[in-house]
Every structure is written in C-alpha cells, then in structure tokens.
A and B are shown apart, each in its own frame.
Chain A
Amino acid sequence: MNYAALHFRDFALSSLLARDGTPPDQPAALLSSGERERSHLIAVNQAARQFQIQPGFRTTRGLARCADLLLLDPDFTAEKSARSETLAFVDSLVPDFELTTPETYLLDLSTLLMASEADWINQTLSASNYLALPLQIGLGKTPDLAHLASLCPNQADPLTLKLANLALAKTFPLPHAPILQLWGLQTLADLAALPRQGLAERLGKELAQLHDIAHGKHHRLLKLYRVQDHYHITHQFEPPVANHEPLLFMAKRLLQTLCNRLHHHQRAAAEIRLTLAFDNGAANTRKLILSDPTLSPDVLLRALHTYLETFKAPAPIEEFHLELIPTLPRHAQHQLFSRGLKDPNEFADTLRRLSGIVGPNRLGIPHQLDTHRPDIIALSPTTPDFKTPPVPDIPPINHLPLKRHRPPIPINVASEKRGRHHHPLALLTGPYQGQIHKTRGPFPLSGSWWENGWQQAQWDVELQNSLLLQLAFSPPKKWHLMGIYA
C-alpha cells in the first residue's frame, strides 16, 4: 500500500477531552453555540454512542438518554493547539502528506521503508498515544481508498463502509443517497458491484467517480502540506525531569521530525544546538558540531546522548529546545577525495566523549597564537582531516630552554620602583625563595590595547643559589613566576 490515512475521529470534541484529561469511557458531546436549552449536539464520542446518542440530537434528548453525558462548549484555542500537535506528529512520520480534512491526513508512504504495514500501523498508533486522541488508520493503494479505509474502524475493508455513514461524513460526493437506499444498497461494496456505465447514466458522474474510487481506478495527486522552514522544536516537561532518559526519549522523536523536514528541503544537519532550561531559571546552550552533515536521527541522537551522559544539570530540566543547523548534504564516495575517516561522526562522537572526560574547551589541536603575549596557546577544533592550523613564523627570542609553569605561579616579590619599572629584589614566596643576585630586564610587553589590553614586564633573575628564573610583573602589583631556565 502506498498511502495511509490518519483519521482523528470527532476531532473538535476529542481535542477538548484530551486537554482536560477526560477518560475515554466518559460519554461526552460537543454543544452548538447558543442557549443551552435550544442547543443541539454537534459531536459525540464513542462512549456516548453506546447510549444511542447521535450528533444532531437536542441537548435535552441527549441528557434523557444519558444523564451522565458531559456537555462541552467548543474551544477553538484547544482545537488549534491540538491541530498543531497532530501536524507535528504527522510531519514526524513522513515528509509528504496532505491535510485532507480537519480530521484526516493522507500520507505518502512510498518513500518510507517499513518491515510490514501492520507493524507500521501499530508503531504509529502507539506513537500517537501521547496525543490522547482517537485515531483510525487506513491503508490503500490510492489516496482516496486509504481515506475511505480510515473512516472504517479497526482497519476494516473500505468497501464495508456503510453508505449512510459516508453520506454523513460528507468527505466524498454522494448526491443520491436516498435513491441508493431505496435500491437497497447498504455498503460501498454494494455500490461497487453495480455496472459503472449504467450508474453514470442514471445518477450522474459523481457516483461514477465514487465507483472508480471503490475499484481503485481513480488516482489523484496529494496536495502536499508544507510545514514552516524551521528546524527547531521546543518541548516542555511537565513535571520537570531529573535525568536524561526522558529527554532522550523525546529527543529521538523530535529528531525524526526535524530530519524529515531537512530531508524534505534536501538539506542535512551540520550542527545541533541544544538549549536546556532548568527549574531554577538557569539555562544551558550547547552546540554540537557534526563532522559530517547527516540526516540520520540515530547519529544525531548518539551525539546528544554522548553529551548528555557527561552533562550535570544544576536543577531538573523544565524545557528543552532542539535546533538543527542545515547545510547541503555531502555527496562523496569514500576515499575518492582523500576523506580521512570512514565515519567522521563516529570520530566526532569519540571526541565528544573525550571532551566530556577532560572538560569543555580542553580538547583540540594546540597552536601558538600570533601575539607578543608569552605562552598563549589556543586549541583549534579537531577535524576529520586532522588539519593543523597555520603556525605563525615567530623567531625564537630566547636561546636558553625555559621550563614553564603552566599556569604561572603567583608569588610575592620585594621590589623597588626605579623610573617607570619595578625592579625585583627578593622572592618572598613560591617554590624558589631568596635574595636576587642578578637581574636582566625589564622586557616590557603589551598589546591588545583595542580589546582587553594586557601588559607585563618580564625579568630574568638569578638567585643566590644560581637558579635562573623568569618573573613577570603585571601592573599594578602582581608578580608571577613564569618558569625556570634549565
């Protein structure tokens, strides 16, 4: 079957019941607007139908049949909210679908790989549980057959559909229903058994068309519904969650939705941006750059999983916002253009795990920055091709090897100001203490005055015990032991 139809029965009423968390065995009906006494029922649920209550009944008649009947006024806000949820749900299933009626979606399954149709139906039904809306699924080789199938409960054959119900549904043109009833036709199968030509001659082409639909001869194109071009989803947890399992569970489903959207626009995800909002008002945003653009929800989920495994939340998570940054999918044959790694995402995942162990911003390829500031190393991200950043051509300024303290050790130094510079006299604290025997310097350095300016004056000093040290003075009065000359 190429097509599926999802039919949310009594959608307007069901959305209200779902909003209020009403149990499904509670008889309920949706009232028309106006005075309660004069109003009538415009929709009833399955439980109400058990009491032979039908849409169109007066309210009083409905109440006469079931005193426990829950009467609800229409609420368009709840309906709208439920519709956006159902849209998101359908969008997570397939990229191409049609919003046929407010209650029915027609899905194109041709691009979907599934083990079996029954499995798919079961999975979809279980996935829709969170919507708390009654759902009927129908499959068909044409869109209209699928639609007819969805109108039948329990995946029955669409031809078993009663013509009276079809006329009530008003989704297909059935102009001469009373005549058909007079002819003794009860189901769609009865109609399909009649000769098409005679039917068309007698009752018009609309019934001939319905005849074609029933025989699977009428095929039409879906009027595809396009969701907005954004690739982000926000989900709120009620109540807030304290561990990452529920978060991953939700993320898996939402990633599928986002991947479908990306796939629909011929894009792939290059980066995941995850924002977590905590119960205490704090928030945390993390960018997870993917080594290789992907459309696989599993790969994306793995990246998230790796990150969340090592992430320690300061408070229960109240909301999470997931965004995929789109890029063009990469099409390259493995090792044809010197691709270094077979699975760059696997590599990235490993790096992420490492980063989780050593801490954020502590993993990468170290390189010296092009600045006069001494010992400034930056980490550039590790890429799958292992490209090292260009190394600035810095001439050596010291011929003696220096064993550096990283970070430099703050020390107290007795000093004397001569001219513009503080001259060190003795080291008072730190690993090497004592009176300074000889000095060389100062070697003032300064830079980045246009942004976070820095300045220091370096000194090479010799202690009484012949130790050669490098000191740095930073205004107003900080001294650091930079290292010891070997």
Chain B
Amino acid sequence: MAPDGDLRVIQNVELLAKSNFSFLRGASTPEELVNRAAKLGHQSIALVDHMGFYGSARAHAEAQKVGIKAITGATLESVSRFHQLTILNKSQTGYQNLSRLLTSLHCQPAVDVFTHHDLTGTHAILSPESLLKLTKANLLSAANHLLRHFGPGNVSIALFRHFRRGEQRINQLLSDLGDFLKIPVIASNSPTYSQHSDRLLSDAFTCLREHKTLDNAGHLLERNGERFLKSPEVIHNAFTSYPRAFHNSLALSQECSEFSLENLGYRFPSYRDSDTGKLFTNREQCEYLRKVVKNGFKKRFCNFSKKHYQQIDNELLTIEKLGFSGYFLIVWDLVRFARSQGILCQGRGSAANSLVCYAIGVTSVDPVESGLLFERFLSENRQSWPDIDIDFPSGERRESVIQYVYQKYAPRGAAMTANVITYKPRSAFREMSKILGFPESIANRFTDLCASPKVHDASREPVSEEISMSNYYPGDKVMELAGTIEKSGIPPSHPRFRPLLQLYHAVLHCPRHLGQHSGGMVFCDDGLDHVVPLQPAAMENRTVMQWDKDDCEDLGIVKVDLLGLGMLAAMEDALSICERRGRPVNLSKIPKDDPATYDLLCRADTVGTFQVESRAQMATLPIMQPRKFYDLAVEVAIIRPGPIVGDLVHPYLNRRTGREQIEYIHPDFKPILKRTLGVPLFQEQVLRMAMVIAGFSGVEADFLRKAMSFKRSDERMNAIVNKLKTRMNERQVTPEVQQRVIESIGSFALYGFPESHAISFALIAYASCWLKVHRPAEFYCGLINNQPMGFYSVNTLLQDAKRHGIRTKPISVIHSMISTEVINDQTLRLGFHRLKGLRQKTMERLIEERSFFAFASLDDFLRRIRPNTKERRLLAATGALNDLYRKSSIVEMLFGKPSNYHSMIFLQTRQLRNKFWK
C-alpha cells in the first residue's frame, strides 16, 4: 500500500477515457486529459472516443511531450447487441483492423461488423455501459459473443466506481462473470472529463445531445461529478475489493502500449501507370520522373542556361535520394489529368521554388530566373514531405479532379482531410443559452451585438485548477462579455447569468462537429481506411478522414491540397470565350512586360482582377507604380495582415519612392533584404535572417517555418521565439535588433506569406490584368459567369465595364443564353443565370424550344415554356419579355397596322399585364 499523498508510488492507467472529440460525450480536450493523466502519475491513458480515433493524434502528440503512453481505441455504439463497446488496439494490425471496422460502421452501417471484419490485434472491453439491461443472462451471452469473435485473451471486463447505488452489485456480477468465463476484470473510472469542475460542460453536452434543457433533462444528467480523471491512489482505494482488477489494467495497458501512432503503417502511394495499371517500383519511378522532367524541360525552354541544367540535376538527385519521385509523378498525373480535361491549374506555395515542378507543369514560375531557393521546398536535412498546393477553378472543374482521385484510389484509398469545427462565441452563446432555458430571441440579440467573433475570445484566460463546487463560477472569467449579455436581455442579477458565463467559457473552442478541409486530400495505395477511419462527408461521393491537416502533418501523412480559386474559373471561362471568338490566348505565352498591363496597375484600374482589386491594394498601387513582375509579387505580399500588423507597408513604399533611406536591420541582412529594400516581406527572408543572426540550422529554421504557419496555438511560436532570443543573446546582438527581428517574426506568424507563393499569385494577378486590358469583354463575361467571387458585386463590375466602353444588354428571352455571352468586343448580353428564382429546367427548356423555332408571340412563349407565376413575374419585371412584345408590334407594323392601332396597343398592354400580374 502506498503512503498517503504519494501519488507516484502506485502505478495505474486509465483505459476508458473519452475526450471532447467524442462530440457531446466528453468535456475535455485530449491534451487536457493526457496532461492531467501525466500530472496524476498515470503511466498511460487510452483515449476511446466515440466511433473514431478523432482525438488520438492529438493525444499521441501530447503524450510524447509529457512522457506517457497514449493508447488508441474507440467506443462503438449500437453495434451487434451492444449499446456501447470499447475496443483497444494491441498492435498495428489491430489498429488497422479497428480503423477498417470504424470506416465500415460509418460508411455501411448495416453490415454485421464482427462477422465480416478481421478483429486480430484488437481487444474488446465489456463494461457496465455495454448493455442496456445488465442481467446475468444478458451479460453471459454478450461475453460469450465477444469471446467467440475476439478470442480468449482479447476480452476484458471493466468495473466502474462512480459511487452510485447498486454499483457494487453490478461490479460483483461482472467480477463473477469474469471468474466464470476466465475473463480478466480491469479497473477504470471511464472519465469523460479531466477535472471535477468540467462536469458542468458534461451536463451541458448531455442536454445538447438529447435536445433537452437542463431543467427537463432530469435523470439524463450525471447524478454526481465523479467521472473525472482520478489519481492512481484514488482508483486503487476505490477498487480495494478487486485488487486483481487494478493489476489487470496495468497488464492490458502494457500489451496495448506496444503500438503507437508512430507506427501507423502509412506509405505514400507509388505511381501507377495510367495505361497499364502497373505499380512502379522506386527505381522505375525515378527513371520515369527523369523522363517526364526531360520532356517538360524541352517544352518549357528553347534555350536553357547551364544554371538551369545544374539546378534540375541537383533537384532530381535530392528527390531520388529522399524517395519522393513517386510523389512528384502523382502530382504530375493530377495536373496532366486536369489539363487533358481543359482545366486550368497552377501550383502555389513553396512548390514554386522547384524547377522540377516548373518542368513537369505543376507551377508556372521559373525559380532560377526568379532567384527562388529549392531548399525552401525540399532539402536532404528535412525529413518531412514537400508541400504542393494546386489551384483549380472552383466549382465543378475542381470537383471532377477530386472525383478522379477518388476513383483512381478506390475503394477507400482517398479522403479529404477533416476540418474540426469548434464552438465560436456566437454558437457557444446560442447553444449554452438554449440549454439554460433562455429564449432564442436573446441569442439572436447577442448574435446581432457580436459584430466581431473575436470580441469574446477567452482562449487566453487562466484555467482554474481547483476542484470544488465553490469554484464553479470563478469571478475572473466575467469579462466584457457580461455587458454584451446584459444588452442581449439577461441582467447580471439573473440567477442563471453566472452559469451562462461559466458554460460559455467552458465550451468556447471545443470541437462541435467535423467538417471537411477546403481542399486537402490524402490518398494511399492499399486503402486509406487502414490508416485512419473514414466517414461520409456531407457532399455526395466524398469521404472525409477523422484527422485534420495538422494531425496528418504530425503523423507524417502526406496531403495534397487541391484548392479552388474563383479567379481561375473566371479566367478559364474568359479563355474559352476568346477561343470561340477566334482570338485564342495562351496564358503561358503572354508577355511579362506588357506596358499596357502595368499602366492599368499603376492607375489602379484593377476592379475585378486577382489579389490587387481590394481598396487597400488600389490605394497602394499608384504609390508603388509597379513596372516589372517582381513589383507585382511584392504588391501581392505587401497588403496582407502580416505586414500591416508589423507596420512594414509604409517603410517599403517610402523607401521605394525615395522618401526614406534604405537601411537594413543588421548589416548581415543586406544580401537577404536587398530585393525588398531592407524590409523583410517574405517568409524566406525571415528564415534566412534567423539563420544569419541566430545561427539557426536548417532544421531549426524549418521548425520556425512550421511554427509560423501553425495556427492552432501560440505554444510553438513562443518556444521558438525564446530560442531565437537565447541564440541572439549568445551572439551579442543588440536588444534593438533583437526586438525588430522578433517583431518581424511575430507579424509573420499571423499571416506568413512565402515569396514563392507571392510569385505564384502574382502570375495569376498579372494574367487577370492582362486579360482586362486586352480582352476586356471576355474578361468581364468570365467574371460575371463565375459570381460570387472577389470584392465587387455584379453591378459594380458592369459599371466598371461601362467605363471601359463595354455595354451590357439586358436579359431577353429571345437572345440570352443561360450564361452571360459576349456579342462583340463592346457588348455583352446578360444570361438567365443572373435571374434569381428562374429554375434551371425552365432555362434549359427555353433554350431548347428556342433552338427549334423562335417564339412568335407572348402566347407562344407561355404555351411552350410554361413558366410558373413567380417566374412569369420575374421575367416581366426584369424586362426579359420586352423583345417578345416589340417583335409582335414590328410584325404588325410590317404586315399591316389595324386602323385602331392605339387601341390595339392599349389592349395588348392590358392583356400582357393581366397575364403576368394576375
């Protein structure tokens, strides 16, 4: 027996912990649970989230930090005869099997999972919560069922101690069952929150899950606050009647600890030949990549320099050495597919630093010419995978590429990365006020009052460590939020005011549900479902994995971002119109030094263009006076939240216009900052500054880059900044320089913008400006057809078009098509897609009927198209029928005007009005 108070003498584990990634079933984050477990002296903790491994990656990362083991597992609900069944992984095989099983449960819930799935390496735990009716017969039958499927030695029985009446009887029943069937019993508290005070949020989540308020939830709520993570000593004392349960828990945790998420078994897919379907070996991939690069190189360059040759050779050697040839081939395959379908695409981000990417057509920037460093993208020192983001036109075109990936790696070989949707101030208030019984009108008022969701950000508030009922409502959490709530209609004297505040702060930033990332895709040769459970996304034909992009990065899972860019869709549309009109444009061949385009930029005539159309950009452009491509890249990078926060806009512009002298923060920075006139504008510059001034190695610089782009918390950033300070102190850098270096990094951490990314975006910005100058009609047409996008409304765009001498004809049932069309260089015709309320099938019927023969009259139109009353009104109100009316008048004029012409016109008008406004 351990002496009182010494928590570290008794060893224990917690095998049935649920985090808030169980979505409305747990009240603490995986990180909180793991931290608390480490603090209490647990050797390991198993996170068994509801129906998935949602929080496992985070728990694993945190466990590595605090030096304990995080065991993975999941709790299945309504499976076979079980209400809840917890399964732990003992090995990599077990993990993969459970992952597949979870995927099946999400994607094909009807399948009898235990019969149709291999359960090797998994361990089932029968707990008091497993069955709805805990009778002797039920328990015996359930235990036998588990033994049959999981095998002897892979089943345990969990005993809980939540200090409930009747609990001892149930524990005795389970213990007897264990003795009878030779199944080991284990001890657990099955925590759903880390600390006693988190019980409030747990109750709130119960209400949300059951669609009740706290007042009428009754027995659905916990009867006490005992489901928190308890210390080994407390657990030991609670299970003194079952000493073997305590030891069995330790033994089982040791069995399960052999596997960790580091050994996921994930391997990036090898390239598969599109024609033969053959999977390439590593050597074959290297050879094939060289071949592809060689062909691409020939296409890109007529005359290439020796520098180009050396660079490509270096890059290929590095890629082969790191074994990334397959990765490049797969990305090339995606781009090739998109191009074959006529889909515009362009790589962005650090991929623009690679000449190989340029050669195989992934990016459109020559890094040698632009002076970009390949090491920023890939180096032998870095073990992480390169990051290639590709922009596609948003909408159906991008979806076709995504579906291509799904089909290529089917079944279950590809999935979108998840996006964890958390409680934001408005949703937090709405849901918490609802469960406290406040009317919805109060939440509506609060929503109206909260103009900015950042107003009530409580993420930096200290968390109370005390566990007592009296500390349920710590006063220091009552901040300016109180005033807003009061204005919403709940006075501070209201008895539920403080509970509302408490719950609001508790739920803020908690996971609410799982969404899908805007474009991050992960794929795998032999089934992604053995790496991480997949589940159907809200969109049809899409699956989403249970981890977000940061989890994937932490666990070495490679994702490719297939992002949607509205401007690309608009440009693609414009280019196809150009081609139809016999004036094709090849964007790769447009001159990069077109004076007319730079003139447009200099006079800030950039409404509708990419990246340089905002008011801030338009205000800066006349000062900036860009005359070459790199100026545009700087312009794209300069108007960003990062540089604005860092007060770096004005120094750059002042130096450019000669109003301020060029100076570098430190003489050593001159080679790095020369291109940007001594002002650090790009992430690469900041990294190199850190390397020069603080002697950071490549790995450390990479860590700094990750910290700058890691938005989940400030922890990483603070750590690296501290390191930077220490190193600068060691090198006796003056405090002033230190301060300026840290300020530069701090602002970039908010919105870092790499140079390569700026150049990639500047390319699209330049192309959009070029189109506006040289193909304005097609440009505006493309923009209108791809709304909503950009900063401006269609009306503003049409006004801008008018200023450029382009007239827009109204919608007409005689002339318009579904989309907006270019009639000639000076005229556009609006399409039916601009009419809100006109059904797609009506539009299609209209075009089809009109193609057979033109509408002779209004009656003819109504008879053939059959628009409903709303559509009739819409068409009449927008003047789309005017041509029909005029046409009949002209016919009558041509074929004889009746003597009572004016009466006829009057009658016709009345008839028309009666038809449409009845």
Contact = CB atoms under 8 A, between A and B. Distances in A.
B225 A446 contact: yes
A364 interface: no
Contacts of A280: none
A343 interface: no
B885 interface: no
A370 B499 contact: no
B496 A451 contact: yes
Interface stretch (B110-118, B211-219, B312-320, B807-815): B211-219
Nearest to B495: A451
A392 B219 contact: yes
Interface stretch (B18-26, B159-167, B396-404, B619-627): B159-167
Contact of B219 (A370, A440, A458): A370
A10 to B, nearest CB: 55
Contacts of B472: 449, 453
B224 A451 contact: no
B163 A444 contact: yes
Interface in A351-385: 369-372
Interface string A183-195: 0000000000000
Interface in A436-476: 440-447, 449-453, 455, 458, 475
A442 B163 CA distance: 7
Contacts of A369: 218
Nearest to A393: B219
B435 to A, nearest CB: 9
Interface string B195-221: 000011001000000000010101101
B226 A372 contact: no
A239 interface: no
A227 interface: no
A451 B219 CA distance: 17
A373 B555 CA distance: 47
Contact of A446 (B218, B469, B495): B469
A446 B499 contact: no
Contacts of B226: 444
Nearest to B437: A450
A58 B200 CA distance: 87
A394 B219 contact: yes
A445 B224 contact: yes
A450 B494 CA distance: 11
Interface in A380-403: 392, 394, 397-398
Given A371-B218, A392-B218, A444-B226, A449 B165 contact: no
A372 B200 CA distance: 15
A443 B221 contact: no
Contacts of B223: 372, 445-447
A450 B436 contact: yes
A455 B219 CA distance: 15
Interface string A417-432: 0010000000000000
B793 interface: no
A282 to B, nearest CB: 24
A398 B165 CA distance: 7
B234 interface: yes
A405 B165 CA distance: 20
Interface residues of B, number: 25
B234 A397 contact: no
A371 B218 CA distance: 5
B165 A370 contact: no
Contacts of A397: 164-166
A419 B163 CA distance: 14
Contacts of A447: 221, 223
B218 A370 contact: yes
Nearest to B220: A370
Contacts of B909: none
B218 A449 contact: no
Nearest to A442: B163
Contact of A451 (B200, B469, B499): B499
A446 B199 CA distance: 11
Given A392-B219, A394-B219, A451-B499, A443 B469 contact: no
A372 B217 CA distance: 11
Nearest to A392: B218
B808 to A, nearest CB: 58
A447 B166 CA distance: 19
A441 B161 CA distance: 11
Interface string B144-178: 00000000000000000001111010000000000
Contacts of B436: 450
Nearest to A453: B469
B237 interface: yes
Given A398-B165, A443-B164, A449 B499 contact: yes
A458 B164 CA distance: 10
B231 to A, nearest CB: 11
A397 B162 CA distance: 14
A452 B218 CA distance: 15
B860 to A, nearest CB: 56
Given A370-B218, A453-B469, A443 B496 contact: no
A419 B238 CA distance: 11
A446 B165 CA distance: 14
A251 B223 CA distance: 51
A40 B168 CA distance: 102
B469 A370 contact: no
Contacts of A370: 216, 218-219
Nearest to A440: B168
Given A449-B200, A450-B436, A444 B224 contact: yes
Given A372-B223, A397-B166, A442-B163, A455 B469 contact: yes
Given A370-B218, A370-B219, A449 B469 contact: yes
Contacts of A452: 495
B193 to A, nearest CB: 14
Contacts of A445: 223-224
Nearest to B203: A449
A392 B216 CA distance: 11
A466 to B, nearest CB: 20
A440 B436 CA distance: 35
Nearest to B164: A443
B437 to A, nearest CB: 9
B6 to A, nearest CB: 15
A394 B223 CA distance: 12
Nearest to B472: A449
Contact of A372 (B168, B221, B496): B221
Contacts of B234: 419
B189 to A, nearest CB: 14
Contacts of A443: 163-165
Nearest to A369: B218
A108 B105 CA distance: 79
A447 B222 CA distance: 8
A452 B472 CA distance: 13
Given A392-B218, A444-B224, A445-B223, A450 B163 contact: no
B469 A419 contact: no
A440 B165 CA distance: 10
A392 B168 CA distance: 25
Contacts of B200: 449
B621 to A, nearest CB: 56
A398 B167 CA distance: 11
A371 B216 CA distance: 9
Nearest to B503: A450
Contacts of A372: 219, 221, 223-224
Contact of A450 (B165, B214, B218, B469): B214
Nearest to B204: A450
Given A449-B499, A451-B496, 6 more contacts: A370-B218, A372-B219, A372-B224, A443-B164, A444-B225, A450-B499
Interface of A: 369-372, 392, 394, 397-398, 419, 440-447, 449-453, 455, 458, 475
11 contacts: A369-B218, A371-B219, A372-B221, A372-B224, A397-B165, A440-B168, A449-B199, A449-B472, A450-B214, A451-B496, A451-B499
A-B pairs, 4 with minimum CB distance: A370-B218, A450-B499, A372-B223, A444-B224
